[in-house]
Amino acid sequence: MTPLVRLRGPSWGMPLPTFGPVDPYSGRPRPASLAGSLLVATPRLVDPNFARRVVLVLDHGDQGALGVVLDRPGGVDVADVLPRWAPVVTPPRQFFVGGPVARNAVIGLLRLRPTPPGSGVSGRPDGWRQVVPGDRPVGTVDLDGDPSAFAGCVAGARLFAGYAGWAGGQLEDEVDEGSWFVLPALERDPVSADPEGLWRRVLRREGGSLALAAAFPEDPTRN
């Protein structure tokens, strides 16, 4: 596993007394691995890197976890840096800020089209590793490959500069402290056409107390 960096800061997980505790798994059993899950920041999390953000966990184990922030466009056009990837990248065709670690490193996510039954074709490019299963699964991709060779099987793509990392046991502690909701990822989430609305959208579709959290004010002292 890639060496990971502790991200905890002095403001991490600061509690807001007006937001009570809720089940971070929304009634689901705690999974053995969080890989493929969404980490949705609770209103308690005020770290500027993650407040009101959604993270897709790419890898999780005893040594730690790694993921990318899905809803933070970075403003740099993919065409200006990796032009051969620009045609398959989902709008907005920018690099997203995947997290505060290794901003000079790029991680690619590729959503695939369904493979026709009986076609005898896997429809999965070399160097692609599944993260979110489904008819149109999402996975990481080797960016050294030639996207034109598999453009016909691509339903969407997104590139991330940097990532979020946790040391062994750190992510579990932050979930237990109330910093994250852990929710299932849908295939469309990593390549959403409205990435900046993803935080509220994911909470609202869960319903119940999590839907109420979507309406929690950014600054409760001004409400």
Distance, CA of 17 to chain centre: 27
Is the model's pLDDT at 20 over the cut of 80? no
| Whether the model pTM is above 0.75 | yes
Nearest to 137 by CA among 128, 150, 145: 128
Multiple choice CATH, 75-95+105-160, 3.40.1740.10, 3.40.50.970, 3.30.70.100, 1.10.150.310: 3.40.1740.10
Secondary-structure breakdown of the chain: helix, strand, coil percentages, each rounded to the nearest 5: 20, 30, 50
Does pLDDT of 180 surpass 80? yes
Q: Quote the pLDDT of residue 129.
A: 96
The pLDDT tens digits of the residues spanning 123-163 come to: 688 899 999 999 999 999 999 989 988 888 999 999 999 99
pLDDT of 160: 98
63 band by pLDDT with thresholds 50, 70 and 90 = very high
Phi–psi pair at 161, nearest 5 degrees: -95, 115
Tell me how far the alpha carbon of residue 153 is from its chain's centroid. 22
